[in-house]
């Protein structure tokens, strides 16, 4: 009775009951591709929890100290406080190594989920009006996550992370006119500068996570306000949402997904080794790890650096250094196109109507082909970042691997894009529900039968809604 009266007292003043009733009845689509966003959100939660644990023991300082921990090969050696505290977390702190590796795996899965979520949004046209703002927020979240991932694995001050910071310093210097000043501003002096670790630490544990949390909150609020998109199907229209209500079915499934992600990351953290800094050793400015591979989400930048020809140019009396083109200009163009894509497509198609029903990739062959071309291009750059590993495994000179990638990275994406365009046009023209049901003749320029005669495949347009509406949990 007391609890009921207390809730009534609050409800009379806040009106929370009607909001809660409306919120719990909200409907979410059941398609599995919508899980990518949830996976990213739950990985971020695990990153925060494991990161808080690690923060209690990590020392973000490059000042030298005498290592006296449990790892015998470095006992008595002079190492930086950052490297020494990382070893202490790995070998002396209870569950420290599990937390370290779980944190690192969560970062990799977090970035993978964001990329897959953006790819799903791109190929289905979920960025169209009225969701352009959410697309921009999603691209910004990808940028912030990439930076936070790089700053995170740069903190231990081991030889691999030091090599990455050396590369980052050189790339900053390559920026025309402003490079020297920006490098000094970011690093606090000439490399290796003592201030960079403490600055990265503040950015990694405080500023960037706060920005990610804020943008993620706005992202979810916009989804809540604008309602979910859904694939076209009988009973689904531009004005309703068919699926599961927030409570109890969707909530229970979402909590189950959280536990599953935590379990998988826990198993990876306990059994799958990642970033073994004790093998790399402490950072030494005169040494470089080989083969040195960054985490996958910046591997495409590494690949672009490795295969870009040795070109330089001069402009306005200044030399534009070679690293500027693959490491500054290419990412700049990449993210500029990503940010502008909803508005570019809107300008080309003249489609300014609001959309709540998604496209199927086969219905937009040009967009699908462009996406396949881009994914192939950046996937090849990611592979090119491992040219030294490939050379060692295949017993081939690394220069031969590099020359091959210089050709393939320009030719193969175009061929893939043309092939995907042809496949999607044939898929849409056939009217088949599944790709494996499409007759081979539908992929030709003009569909033909087994006798080589032109045929009309007919069938309803791909994604068309046929038949009477199917009853379900609709939200107007």
Q: Cα–Cα distance between 350 and 363 in angstroms, integer?
A: 17
Contact 142, 118 (CB under 8 A): yes
* Low-confidence winner among 159-168, 229-238, 281-290, 341-350 (lowest mean pLDDT): 281-290
pLDDT at 78 over 50: yes
**Complete domains list, the chain, with CATH:** 32-233+242-335 (1.20.810.10), 360-457 (no CATH)
| Cβ atoms 74, 67 nearer than 8 A | yes
Residue 448: its pLDDT value, please? 46
The vertex-379 CA angle with 375 and 385, nearest 5°, equals 155
DSSP string, 98-116: HHHHHHHHHHHHHHHHHHH
Question: Can you list the pairs that 287-292 forms with residues at least 24 positions away whose Cβ atoms lie under 8 Å?
Answer: 287/159, 288/159, 288/163, 288/166, 289/159, 289/160, 289/163, 290/388, 291/386, 291/388, 291/389, 291/392, 292/160, 292/163, 292/164
Q: Which residues are CB-contacts of 136 (< 8 A; sequence separation ≥ 6)?
A: 339
Per-residue pLDDT reduced to its tens digit, 108-126: 999 999 999 999 999 999 9
pLDDT number for residue 5: 80
Cα end-to-end span (Å), the chain: 36
CB-CB contact of 143 with 335 (8 Å): yes
Average pLDDT over residues 130-138: 96
Pick the closest to residue 96 from 47, 51, 60 (CA basis): 51
Fill in the DSSP letter of residue 461.
Answer: P
Average pLDDT for residues 292-310, to the nearest whole number?
A: 91
pLDDT number for residue 384: 95
Q: How confident is the model at residue 465 (pLDDT cuts 50, 70, 90)?
A: very low
pLDDT at site 466: 42
The pair of three-digit structure tokens given for residue 228, joined into one six-digit string: 């979910």
Q: What is the pLDDT of residue 289?
A: 67
pLDDT at position 312 is: 83
Q: Mean pLDDT, to the nearest integer, of 360-364?
A: 92
Q: Which of 366, 345, 334 is closest to 131 using CA atoms?
A: 345
Average of pLDDT values for 222-238? 87
464: pLDDT confidence band, cut at 50, 70 and 90? very low
193: which 2 tokens? 């500068």
Helix, strand, or coil (residue 448): strand
- The pTM assigned to this predicted structure is 0.88
Q: Looking at the predicted structure, is the pLDDT value of residue 43 above 60? A: yes
Residue 470 has pLDDT above 50, yes or no: no
Question: Residue 291: pLDDT above 80?
Answer: no
Query: What are the pLDDT digits (tens) for 380-402?
Result: 999 999 998 999 899 999 999 99
**Residue of 278, 333, 327 lying closest to 299 (CA atoms):** 327
Using DSSP bridges, classify how beta strands 244-245 and 64-66 pair: parallel, antiparallel or unpaired. unpaired
| Alpha-carbon gap, residue 311 to 298, rounded angstroms | 22
* Least confident span in 168-172, 250-254, 275-279, 443-447: 443-447
pLDDT at residue 469, rounded to an integer: 43
Q: Which two tokens stand for residue 139?
A: 């691209």
**pLDDT bucket at 476, cuts 50 / 70 / 90:** very low
Task: Count CB neighbours of 452 within 10 A.
Answer: 7
Helix axes 159-173, 132-154, angle to 10 degrees: 120
Q: Is the peptide bond before 374 cis (omega within 30 degrees of 0)?
A: no
The mean predicted confidence, pLDDT, of the chain is 88
Quick one: pLDDT band at residue 290, thresholds 50, 70, 90? Answer: low
What CA–CA distances, in Å, run from 64 to 157, 199, 318, 394, 451?
Answer: 11, 18, 39, 40, 80
Which among 273, 294, 276 has a CA at the least distance from the CA of 87? 276
pLDDT over 50 (residue 305): yes
User: pLDDT confidence of 17, banded at 50, 70, 90?
Assistant: low
| pLDDT score at 442 | 78
> Where are the alpha helices (H) located in 1-78, listed in sequence order?
2-14, 16-24, 35-55
pLDDT band (50, 70, 90) for residue 45: very high
pLDDT band (50, 70, 90) for residue 445: low
Q: What is the pLDDT of residue 375?
A: 97
On the question of pLDDT at 473 being above 80, the answer is no
Both tokens of residue 382? 């990611």
* CA 164 to centroid of chain Cα atoms: 20
pLDDT value for 250: 87
Least confident of 228-232, 234-238, 298-302, 314-318: 314-318
Residue 90, judged by CB atoms within 10 A of its CB (0-12, 13-18, 19+), counts as: buried
Residue that wins the pLDDT comparison between 465 and 19 = 19
For residue 42, the model assigns a pLDDT of 97
| Res 446 pLDDT > 70 | no
């Amino acid at each position: 009775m007391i609890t009921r009266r207390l809730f009534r007292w609050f409800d009379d003043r806040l009106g929370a009951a009607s909001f809660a009733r409306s919120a719990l009845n909200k409907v979410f689509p059941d398609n599995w591709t919508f899980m990518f966003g949830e996976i990213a959100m739950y990985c971020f939660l695990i990153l925060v929890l494991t990161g808080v644990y690690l923060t209690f023991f990590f020392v973000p300082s490059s000042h030298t100290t005498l290592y006296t921990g449990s790892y015998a090969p470095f006992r008595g050696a002079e190492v930086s406080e950052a490297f020494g505290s990382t070893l202490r977390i790995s070998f002396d702190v209870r569950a420290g190594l599990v937390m370290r590796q779980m944190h690192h795996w969560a970062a990799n899965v977090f970035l993978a989920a964001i990329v897959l979520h953006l790819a799903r949004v791109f190929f289905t046209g979920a960025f169209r009006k009225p969701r352009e703002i959410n697309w921009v927020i999603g691209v910004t979240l990808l940028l912030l996550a990439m930076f936070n991932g790089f700053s995170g694995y740069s903190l231990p001050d081991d030889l691999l992370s030091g090599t990455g910071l050396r590369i980052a310093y050189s790339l900053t210097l390559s920026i025309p006119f402003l490079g020297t000043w920006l490098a000094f501003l970011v690093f606090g002096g000439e490399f290796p500068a003592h201030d960079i670790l403490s600055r990265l630490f503040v950015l990694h544990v405080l500023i960037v996570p706060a920005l990610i949390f804020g943008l993620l909150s706005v992202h979810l609020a916009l989804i809540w306000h604008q309602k979910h998109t859904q694939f076209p199907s009988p009973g689904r229209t531009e004005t309703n949402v068919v699926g599961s209500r927030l409570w109890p079915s969707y909530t229970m499934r979402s909590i189950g997904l959280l536990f599953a992600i935590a379990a998988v990351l826990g198993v990876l953290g306990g059994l799958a080794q990642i970033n073994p800094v004790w093998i790399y050793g402490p950072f030494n400015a005169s040494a470089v790890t080989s083969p040195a591979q960054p985490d996958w989400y910046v591997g495409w930048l590494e690949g672009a650096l490795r295969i870009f020809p040795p070109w330089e140019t001069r402009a306005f009396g200044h030399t534009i250094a070679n690293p500027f083109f693959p490491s500054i200009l290419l990412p700049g163009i990449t993210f500029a196109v990503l940010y502008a894509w909803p508005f570019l497509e809107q300008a080309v198609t003249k489609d300014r109507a609001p959309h709540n029903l998604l496209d199927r990739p086969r219905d937009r062959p040009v967009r699908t082909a462009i996406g396949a071309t881009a994914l192939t291009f950046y996937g090849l750059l990611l592979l090119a970042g491992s040219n030294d590993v490939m050379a060692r495994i295949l017993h081939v000179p690394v220069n031969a691997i590099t020359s091959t990638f210089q050709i393939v990275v320009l030719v193969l994406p175009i061929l893939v894009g043309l092939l995907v365009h042809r496949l999607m046009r044939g898929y849409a023209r056939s009217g088949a529900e599944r790709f494996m049901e499409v007759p081979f003749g539908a992929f030709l320029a003009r569909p033909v039968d087994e006798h080589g005669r032109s045929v009309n495949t007919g069938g309803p347009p791909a994604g068309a809604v046929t038949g009477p509406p199917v009853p379900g949990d609709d939200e107007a």
